[in-house]
Structure 1
Amino acid sequence: MHYSYGRARSAARALVVPAALGILAMGAPLAAAHTDLDSSTPVAKASLADVPESVTLTFSDPMDQKYAKVAVTGPDKQPAGQGTPRVDGKRVTIALDPQAPAGEYSVGYRVVSADGHPVSGSYTFTVQTQQASPSPTRSATGTLTPAAGAPVASDSGGSTGTSTAAVTAAGVLLAAGAAGYLMLRRKRVSRDD
C-alpha cells in the first residue's frame, strides 16, 4: 500500500513537470516578442537629390511619445533635425533643416514601444552635391547665350536700370571733363596772343 502511494506521487510529479514546461513554452513567444523597425523614409543607403523634409521611422508596435529619441546628423557633424520627434502610432517623424548641406546623413534612434520594449539603431543616407550651373555657349552670331536650364536675365528690372544710370553718369563726367579741357586750352591760347 505504501509502495503504491509512493508510485502514484512519482507519477503525478512526472506529469506536472512536463505540463509546467509546456505552459512556459507556450508563453515564451509572447515574452520574447520584440519591437522592430519595419521601414524608414528615406530608406537606408538612399541617394537623394535634395534634403528631405523629414525622416520617418515606422515600427512594428505603437511608440511612446515620451521616450521617442531620434537624432539626424548632417555631413558637417551638426544636428540636421528640427524640433522634437513626433509620434503617430507606429510612426516617429522628425523634421529636417532644408538648408542643410549635401553629403552623408546619419539617423540614430532610441525609442520605447507603448508596451515597454526599447529599440535602438542607426542608418545612413546621402544627399547628392548640387551640380554647378551650366556655362553659357557662344552662338553662330558670336553672342553669348545661356546654357539649357540656366536662369535668363530679364530686360525689365533693377540690373538694367542700374547699368543705364552708370552709362549716363559716365557720359556726363566725360562731357564735363571735355568742357573743362577746352576752357583751359582757350585760356592758354589767349595768353599766348
Structure 2
Amino acid sequence: MYVTDRRAVRTAARVLVLPAALAALATAAPRAAAHTDLDTASPAADSARAELPPRITLTFSDPMTQKYAKVAVTDPNGKSAATDEPEVSGKEVSLALDPTSPAGRYTVGYRVVSADGHPVSGSYSFTVEAASDSSAPSARETESEGAAVPRAAEEAAGETAADSTDGESSGGESSGGTVPVLIVVGALAAAVAAAVGAYVVRRRRARHGD
C-alpha cells in the first residue's frame, strides 16, 4: 500500500510539473525572441520641414545603452550635421544638429544596442525646404531696375546734347554778330575810296580846264 502511494505521488508530480515547465518556456520564449524596434522618429521619415530642428530624436521599443548608441545625420552635401555625440535617455536617443546647415535632403543612420543586448540599425531621410528670401528682388523689380539704367543714360545723353546745342547756338550768334561789322567796315572803306577817286578826277579836270 505504501509503495503504491509513492508511485502515485511521483506520477502526479510528473503530470503537474511538465505542463508547468512547458508553460513557463512558452511564456519566456516570445520575450527572449522579441526584437527591439524603432517606434517613432522626429523628424519623421520622408517628412518635409520648413527648417532644420535643433535635434533629432529616435524612440525605441526598449531602453538603450549609451555606450553603443551610434547616430549620424548627413546634410545634402554629404557632411555631418551633428554638433555633439548621441544622448540616451531610457528608450530615446537624441542628437543635436547644426541650425546653419543648408536646406535639402537629410539622411539619418543609426545603430544602437538595447539594454538586453539586442542590436538595432537602420536609416531614413527627411527634407528641409529652402526658405523664400523676401529681401531678394523679384523678377519685375529686376526688370524695372534694368530699365532704369538705360533711361538714366538717355536722360544724361539728352542733357549733354542740349548743352552742346546751347553752346553751338551761342557760337552762331557770336559769329553772326562779327559778319555785319565786317560788312560795315568794308562799305565804309569802299565809300572812302570812291570819294578819294572822285576828288582825284575833279582835280585832274580842273587842271585841264586851266
Q: Please, which of 135, 138, 163 is the counterpart of residue 135 of structure 1? A: 138
Query: How many Å apart are 1:41 and its aligned residue?
Result: 0.9
The residue type paired with residue 125 of structure 1 is F
Q: TM-score, normalised by structure 2?
A: 0.55
Q: Deviations over 1:84-134 (max 9, x none)?
A: 001111111111111111110000101111221111111110001232435
Superposition pairs of residues 121-160 of structure 1, within 5 angstroms: 121-132=122-133, 133-135=136-138
Query: How many Å apart are 1:23 and its aligned residue?
Result: 3.7
Q: 2:90 maps to which residue?
A: 89
Structure 1 Cα separation of the partners of residues 16 and 88 of structure 2: 49
Q: 2:107 maps to which residue?
A: 106
Structure 2 Cα separation of the partners of residues 134 and 126 of structure 1: 26
Asked if 1:75 is matched to 2:90, the reply is no
The DSSP-based 3-state class of the residue aligned with 2:121 is strand
Q: 2:32 maps to which residue?
A: 31
The DSSP-based 3-state class of the residue aligned with 1:110 is strand
| CA radius of gyration, larger in | 2
Query: How many Å apart are 1:26 and its aligned residue?
Result: 2.3
Structure 2 Cα separation of the partners of residues 134 and 58 of structure 1: 44
Query: How many Å apart are 1:60 and its aligned residue?
Result: 1.5
Q: TM-score, normalised by structure 1?
A: 0.59
The residue type paired with residue 62 of structure 1 is P
The residue type paired with residue 107 of structure 2 is S
Q: 1:56 maps to which residue?
A: 57
Q: Deviations over 1:161-184 (max 9, x none)?
A: xxxxxxxxxxxxxxxxxxxxxxxx
Unpaired segments ≥5 residues, structure 1: 1-7, 145-193
Q: 2:45 maps to which residue?
A: 44
Unpaired segments ≥5 residues, structure 2: 1-7, 146-210
| Cα 1:19–1:75 shift into 2, 3 Å | same
Q: 1:115 maps to which residue?
A: 116
Query: How many Å apart are 1:21 and its aligned residue?
Result: 4.4
Structure 1 Cα separation of the partners of residues 78 and 44 of structure 2: 20
Q: Give % identity.
A: 61
The residue type paired with residue 38 of structure 2 is L
Q: 1:66 maps to which residue?
A: 67
The residue type paired with residue 82 of structure 2 is G
State the number of aligned residues.
137
The residue type paired with residue 138 of structure 2 is S
Greater CA drift, 109-118 or 20-29: 20-29
More helix by share: 2
**After TM superposition, which residue ranges in structure 1, 4 or more long, deviate above 3 angstroms?**
12-23
The residue type paired with residue 121 of structure 1 is G
Structure 2 Cα separation of the partners of residues 63 and 23 of structure 1: 27
The DSSP-based 3-state class of the residue aligned with 1:65 is coil
Structure 2 Cα separation of the partners of residues 33 and 90 of structure 1: 16
The DSSP-based 3-state class of the residue aligned with 2:93 is strand
